[in-house]
Amino acid sequence: MTAQVNSSSAVLVHFTLKLDDGSTAESTRGNGKPALFRLGDGSLSAPLEQQLIGLRVGDKCAFTLQPEAAFGAKNPDLIQFFSHRDFIDTGVPEVGTIMLFTAIDGSEMPGVVHEVAEDSVTVDFNHPLAGHPVLFDIEVLEIDPQQEKTDANIAG
């Protein structure tokens, strides 16, 4: 087991993500299922990895990352408009509904229904936390844990 987190560590953590208004956006503490972050694999932003490097088991830290360093800035090109006909099979969704959409290449992308107008449905494909500074509250549980642990990635 590694004594401290380095640039290629796998780190089992509990985390809470909060927004500027103090609301909790996500937390592993509520369900008791920690997340496994793999540094150096491209799943985490470089600024997030930098905050983790040097931490030891039992360490707790809290820091804020600006949008560009966390989930990115809002991209207006990721807001798309659909007609009601596009929802014939599922029915027109309600505002706030998260739906999976199939891209041209066959991959699936989640989108949040932002607005339902008389003749269109606006869907936002940005990450829900894009454009927001995010407060990370992290506790290191294990460094380079055994591989049977649950894998979950965040902030990439």
Please answer whether residues 138 and 80 qualify as being in contact, where contact means their C-beta atoms are separated by less than 8 angstroms.
no
pLDDT at residue number 104: 87
CA proximity to 17, closest of 86, 52, 65, 51: 65
| Structure tokens that stand for 89 in this block | 């099979």
pLDDT at residue number 146: 66
DSSP state of 106: S
- Whether pTM exceeds 0.75: no
Q: What does pLDDT average to in each consecutive run of 10 residues of the chain (156 residues)?
A: 83 96 93 93 93 96 95 94 92 92 89 94 93 96 70 49
In terms of C-beta density within 10 A (0-12 exposed, 13-18 middle, 19 or more buried), how is residue 131 classed?
middle
Q: Which domains does the chain have, with CATH numbers?
A: 10-72+130-143 (3.10.50.40), 76-124 (2.40.10.330)
E strands, 39-153, in order? 60-65, 79-82, 98-102, 108-116, 121-124, 134-143
